[in-house]
Homo-oligomer: A and B are copies of this chain.
Amino acid sequence: MCRWMAWMGQSILIDELLFKTQHGIVDQSLHSRMGAEPTNGDGFGLGWYGAGEGPGVYHSVAPAWGDENLRELAAHAESPLFLAHVRAAIGSPIQATNCHPFRRDRWLFVHNGFIADFHLLRRDLMLAVDPTQFAEVVGSTDSEVVFHLALTVGLESDPIGALERTVGLIESVAREHGVTAPVQATFGVSDGECLWAVRYATEGPARSLFASADVETLKRLHPDNPRVQRFTDGDRVIVSEPFADLPGAWQEIPEATAVCVRRGGELEERPFEPRVEAPALKA
């Protein structure tokens, strides 16, 4: 359920990756191969940095494959950093406020996966959201609450640490409610400067997640692919599942791992270790 992708690098027309790749995210809305469901037709979202103040967000409840406005927007907006997400709803309503990316100020957030038995945990988790931000939660997804929890425990100063504390908090609340294996997730986060991604599940295999190889490797592997040859140092793609036309160009992000991509394309990897912190629990 759900697939996402993120681009960081040179400024490109967004449709270059959304529509013009083989098995890009829009194709995955109709024919996902590695996701929990082949069809991700319950909404689309794009968050992009570019002209104007902060990131723009486009949310649609129409399936991505048939959304003409998305096609137009993608073909006429350039961006050096964007995140796109296709949704397969599992119970929660199909509405724009349930579409990713979620945004506050300069921050964008996407999630593939779920909080198990979320209806049992929702009240306690929403109580842990900063009370002054409570009214900002306007949809009904688990993902939006995860984002606001992460903001509450410091996403803006320490993204990965805040997600570790958030997941720790969720696992702790879940334990109290007798919910096992509560967190299944890949996360994508950006502030317009860096791009962070996480792959983690409390139990069992986490949803798939891949990063593109460094640009030199890509070019060597695909000397005849004009799109790849236009890549420059510092271009990096993170995807739920690889584009089909670039075999060998992807490195799987291991389980329980966080990565950070900075300007220049450097990819840092570190373990993702959820933990419960006293202050977080009190919040």
**A38 within 8 Å of B by Cβ?**
yes
* CB pair A56 B30 closer than 8 Å: no
Q: Is A230 an interface residue (CB 8 A)?
A: no
**CB-defined contacts of A50 to chain B, threshold 8 Å:** 76
Asked if A140 and B97 sit within 8 Å, CB to CB, the answer is yes
Choose from B57, B73, B95 the contact partner of A97 (Cβ within 8 Å): B95
> With A89-B66, A94-B66, A97-B93 known to touch, is A58 a contact of B73 (CB < 8 Å)?
yes
Docked complex Cα distance between A257 and B76 (Å): 33
Question: Within 8 Å CB of A30, what residues of B?
Answer: 39
CA distance A131 to B89 in the complex (A): 24
For A75, A96, A123, which residue has the most chain B Cβ atoms within 10 angstroms? Answer: A123
Among the interface residues A55, A59, A72, which one has the most CB atoms of the partner chain B within 10 A? A72
A72 x B58 contact (CB < 8 A)? yes
A13 at the interface (CB under 8 A from B): yes
Give A239 to B139 CA distance when docked, in angstroms.
31
Q: Which of B48, B52, B63, B95 contacts A13 (CB 8 A)?
A: B52
A96–B97 contact, CB under 8 A? no
A278 at interface, CB cutoff 8 A: no
For A50-68 the 0/1 string (1 means CB < 8 A from B) is: 1111011111111100101
* A21 nearest CB across to chain B (Å): 17
| Contact in complex: A39, B39 (CB < 8 Å) | yes
Please list the residues of chain A having a beta carbon within 8 angstroms of any beta carbon in chain B.
13, 15, 30, 38-39, 41-42, 48, 50-53, 55-63, 66, 68-69, 72-73, 75-78, 89, 92-97, 118-120, 122-123, 126-127, 131, 134-135, 138-140
